[in-house]
C-alpha cells in the first residue's frame, strides 16, 4: 500500500494569503525559482476557488504549451502500440487538443456529452475521502500545473498531463467511467480508514496501473501507465498476475519506481465482474474479510 500524500508536493497557505508548493530536493524544478513561482501562482488559483465559481483559467505560457505538445506527440504512437482498444476509442471520441494545454472547463465540455463527467481544479493533494466522494458524483479533481520543461517526458507527481491525458481519455469510455464512479460511490459506504485504503489500492492496481489481455497481447488501460512515456516501455516486462482482490488491496509497492507487479484482467468483462463488482458491493465487513485472506508481497 502507499500513502496518497506521497504523490504530491505539499501545498501550504501562509497567513498573508500567499500559497507555496513545497517541492522535494529531487524534483527537477527544485532549483528553478521561476518554475517554483509559477507553481505557487497556479496552486493559489485553485486554493482561492470555491464550488459554484467558474473554474480558474490559467494563461499557459508558450513553454508550458510546448511541454504539452511534446508529450502529446510522443505518447501518441505508444498509445497505438500499448493502449487497450477501449481506451483508444475513448481517446478518439474525446479529441483533446494536442497543440496546447486545455482549460479544465474545456475538458469538461468535451467529456460531459460522452459520459457525464466534469473536472474541477485542485492545488495538489485532495484528501482521500474528498477525492473519492467527488468521483462518486462524476467529478474529477485535477491539478493544473505542468511538469518541469527540462524533463517533459517525466514527472515525479501527477500533473495536468497525467490527470487529463491519462484519466480524461479513460473517463471518456462509458465502461471505464462507470468503474471509476463505482469506486467513488463505494467510498461513501466505507467508515474505516483500513477499508478506504484497501479501496484506494485496488483502484491503484486497476484504474491507475491496470493492464488487460487483448488478442493475445498485454495492453494497458490504467491512466498511470498511459500518461507515462517510460512506464509504457516497461509494463509488459513486469511480473503479471491475474486479478486478485486480496493481493491488489494489500501488496506493498513503491510509487517512485516502475511498478514491478501488475494485475491483468483477461478482458473488459472480467475487469467489470471482479473489480467492478467489488466497487459496487464492498463494505467495511467484506473488505475486512478480504484483508484477512490477503497475501501481501
208 is in an annotated binding site: yes
The per-residue pLDDT for 294 is: 43
**pLDDT above 70 for 208:** yes
The per-residue pLDDT for 1 is: 45
84 is in an annotated binding site: no
Catalytic residue among 82, 163, 167, 181: 167
**pLDDT above 90 for 34:** yes
Which of 106-115, 267-276, 288-297 comes out lowest in average pLDDT?
288-297
8 A C-beta contact, residue 294 and residue 272: no
User: What backbone torsions phi and psi does residue 240 show, to the nearest 5 degrees?
Assistant: -105, 120
Mean pLDDT (whole number) for 267-285:
98
**pLDDT above 80 for 269:** yes
27 is in an annotated binding site: no
Query: Residue 284: which residues within 8 A CB-CB, separation 6 or more?
Result: 189, 190, 191, 192, 194, 195
Catalytic residue among 82, 84, 148, 162: 162
Residue 227 among the catalytic residues: yes
Catalytic residue among 86, 163, 208, 231: 208
CA dist 261 and 250 (Å) reads 12
Percent of the chain clearing pLDDT 90 (strictly above): 85
Tens digit of pLDDT for each residue in 144-173? 999 999 999 988 899 999 999 999 999 999
The per-residue pLDDT for 259 is: 84
With cut-offs at 50, 70 and 90, classify the pLDDT of residue 6.
low
With cut-offs at 50, 70 and 90, classify the pLDDT of residue 3.
very low
The per-residue pLDDT for 125 is: 83
Residue 193 among the catalytic residues: no
With cut-offs at 50, 70 and 90, classify the pLDDT of residue 77.
very high
Residue 162 among the catalytic residues: yes
Mean pLDDT (whole number) for 93-103:
98
The per-residue pLDDT for 13 is: 85
Specify the CATH architecture of the domain 9-291: Orthogonal Bundle (1.10)
Mean pLDDT (whole number) for 88-94:
98
Tens digit of pLDDT for each residue in 247-260? 999 998 777 677 89
Mean pLDDT (whole number) for 21-26:
91
Catalytic residue among 9, 227, 228, 250: 227
- Helix axis angle for 193-203 and 284-293, nearest 10°, is 70
Mean pLDDT, all residues of the chain: 93
With cut-offs at 50, 70 and 90, classify the pLDDT of residue 17.
confident
With cut-offs at 50, 70 and 90, classify the pLDDT of residue 174.
very high
Amino acid at each position: 500500500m502507499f500513502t496518497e500524500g506521497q504523490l504530491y508536493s505539499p501545498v501550504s497557505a501562509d497567513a498573508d494569503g500567499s500559497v507555496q508548493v513545497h517541492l522535494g530536493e529531487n524534483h527537477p524544478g527544485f532549483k528553478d525559482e521561476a518554475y517554483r513561482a509559477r507553481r505557487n501562482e497556479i496552486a493559489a488559483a485553485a486554493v482561492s476557488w470555491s464550488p459554484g465559481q467558474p473554474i480558474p483559467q490559467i494563461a499557459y505560457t508558450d513553454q508550458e504549451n510546448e511541454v504539452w505538445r511534446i508529450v502529446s506527440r510522443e505518447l501518441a504512437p505508444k498509445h497505438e502500440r500499448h493502449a487497450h482498444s477501449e481506451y483508444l476509442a475513448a481517446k478518439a471520441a474525446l479529441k483533446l487538443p494536442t497543440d496546447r494545454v486545455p482549460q479544465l472547463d474545456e475538458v469538461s465540455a468535451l467529456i460531459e456529452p460522452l459520459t457525464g463527467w466534469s473536472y474541477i481544479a485542485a492545488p495538489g493533494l485532495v484528501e482521500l475521502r474528498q477525492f473519492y466522494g467527488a468521483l462518486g458524483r462524476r467529478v474529477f479533481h485535477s491539478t493544473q500545473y505542468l511538469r518541469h520543461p527540462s524533463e517533459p517526458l517525466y514527472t515525479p507527481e501527477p500533473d495536468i498531463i497525467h490527470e487529463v491525458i491519462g484519466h480524461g481519455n479513460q473517463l471518456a469510455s462509458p465502461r471505464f467511467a462507470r468503474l471509476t464512479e463505482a469506486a467513488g460511490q463505494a467510498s461513501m459506504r466505507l467508515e474505516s480508514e483500513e477499508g478506504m485504503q484497501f479501496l484506494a489500492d485496488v483502484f491503484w492496481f486497476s484504474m491507475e496501473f491496470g493492464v488487460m489481455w487483448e488478442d493475445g497481447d498485454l495492453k494497458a488501460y490504467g491512466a498511470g501507465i498511459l500518461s507515462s512515456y517510460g512506464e509504457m516501455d516497461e509494463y509488459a516486462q513486469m511480473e503479471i498476475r491475474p486479478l486478485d482482490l486480496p493481493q491488489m488491496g494489500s501488496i506493498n509497492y513503491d510509487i517512485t519506481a516502475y511498478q514491478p507487479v501488475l494485475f491483468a484482467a483477461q478482458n473488459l468483462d472480467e475487469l467489470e465482474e471482479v473489480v467492478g463488482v467489488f466497487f459496487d458491493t464492498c463494505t467495511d465487513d467484506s473488505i475486512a474479510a478480504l484483508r484477512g485472506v490477503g497475501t501481501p508481497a
